[in-house]
Amino acid sequence: MNDSIFHTDTIERLTALLHSPRNIIITTHHKPDGDALGSSLGLMHVLRQCGHRVQVILPSEFPGFLNWMSGSGDAVDFIRESSKGTKAMNDAELLFCLDFNDPARVEALEGVLRKSSATKILIDHHLDPKTEDFNLSISLPSQASTSEIIVHLVCHLGLDGFLHRDAAECLYAGIMTDTGSFRFNSVTSSTHRAVARLMDAGVRNDWVFERIYDHNSENRIRFMGYTLLEKMKVIPEFSTVVMTASQDDMDRFGHAPGDLEGIVNYGLSITGMKLSVFFSQRDGLVKISFRSKGAFSVKEIAEKYFHGGGHRNAAGGRSNTDLDSAVQTFIDLLPNYESELRPDAR
């Protein structure tokens, strides 16, 4: 597989760290998505096969449509089991930090993570990592997902013989969800080589797809329909779509974790749209998902105005104002990007 993405020193250091059985913790960002959970569980399965003692600790719960992943039931939700999670973190020798570039992304778990005396290893594909917070950093923004990085890393470490179907299907789900089912421009030949290796390990691609995309609750489908019909605003002069969901909206439809996943992408399916933004109000905080097409970067807007960040075409942010104010702040910014967003811009 692709042998140019890892420094030789990195492989040598990891090989030495994993030479004998270790007590290992794997963690990821708050509100884990498919890539966060898939990369964590996939790596867990491989390392357990190698004889290591491995526990996944999540900063919060994950969406229900991911609970089919092998090992998900053994993961510790730090919000619900903080004492158990703290003890496990304190006892760890190695701490793998996956799919986040800043310790602040683990939220409630941050203090325990920072105090841990374990060797901290970052594996991530987001821009601008805070490498000073980790003992070893593998930051590869060129890769489409953290799960893809894990596949390549496992092979470079010579551990691909331990890449069995349980691990492979978790990693496949991570790659699939973070690439929009392989349609984003982050997908490369390297991505497909990683997927080919997972298929060789027994991945049932149609089965994984069905578990993620065809297991919606009735409430979620009705919520999505309501949002698209009643809460979507198209701003054609800026090739932009804005969608919102208030706390009342989510309460009305019995919102569950993961129900908002992917709604923002529908805006970009409208002909001519270059930018889609979804604002959701939860627990007094407005969270914002940004998606774009082509060369227009949403990372700058998320960072500069909404305390966030991410990738060029996919980013997230937040606002401490009310929902209407956050939306208006964003709309007021659009004229600043008229040269890039107007319909005739290339």
> Is 40 in contact with 173 (CB distance < 8 Å)?
no
261 φ, ψ to 5°? -60, 125
Give the pLDDT confidence score for residue 283 in this predicted structure: 81
Sign of CA dihedral 263, 268, 273, 274: positive
Joined together, the tokens standing for residue 19 give 């030479």
pLDDT of residue 247: 93
76 CB neighbour count, 10 Å cutoff: 20
What is the H or E stretch that residue 99 is in?
Answer: none
Length of the chain: 346
Q: Specify the DSSP class assigned to residue 59.
A: S
**Residues 5 and 190 sit within 8 Å (Cβ to Cβ):** yes
User: What is the pTM (predicted TM-score) of this model?
Assistant: 0.89
Residue 339, Cβ density class (10 Å: 0-12 exposed, 13-18 middle, ≥19 buried): exposed
Please list, in sequence order, all residues whose beta carbon lies within 8 angstroms of the beta carbon of residue 27, skipping any fewer than 6 positions away: 40, 56, 57, 58, 59, 95, 96, 97, 98, 106, 109, 113
Long-range contacts of 314-319 (CB under 8 A, 24+ apart): 314/184, 314/290, 315/289, 315/290, 316/287, 316/288, 316/289, 316/290, 317/287, 317/288, 317/290, 318/285, 318/286, 318/287, 318/288, 319/285, 319/286, 319/288
The residue with tokens 């596949």 is 151
DSSP class of residue 121? E
Taking only the tens of pLDDT, the chain with its 346 residues reads 545 699 999 999 999 999 999 999 999 999 999 999 999 999 999 999 999 999 999 999 998 889 999 999 999 999 999 999 999 999 999 999 999 999 999 999 999 999 999 999 999 999 889 999 999 999 999 999 999 999 999 999 999 999 999 999 999 999 999 998 998 889 999 999 999 999 999 999 999 999 999 988 999 999 999 999 999 999 999 999 999 999 999 999 998 888 888 899 999 999 999 999 999 998 889 999 999 998 999 999 999 999 998 889 999 999 999 999 999 999 999 999 999 999 987 7
The pLDDT, as a whole number, for residue 158 is: 95
Helix, coil or strand: residue 337: helix
- Say how far residue 71 (Cα) sits from the centre of its chain: 18
> Domains of the chain by range and CATH?
8-213 (3.90.1640.10), 218-341 (3.10.310.30)
- What gap in Å lies between CA 218 and CA 155, rounded to an integer? 41
Predicted local distance difference test score (pLDDT) of residue 1: 52
Helix (H) or strand (E) holding 308: none
Considering just the CA atoms, what is the radius of gyration of the chain in Å?
Answer: 20
Which phi and psi (to 5°) does residue 80 adopt?
A: -90, -30
Nearest to 240 by CA among 211, 201, 202, 267: 267
Helices (H), the chain: 8-17, 34-49, 82-91, 110-115, 146-156, 165-178, 189-200, 205-213, 218-230, 247-252, 265-268, 299-305, 323-333, 338-341
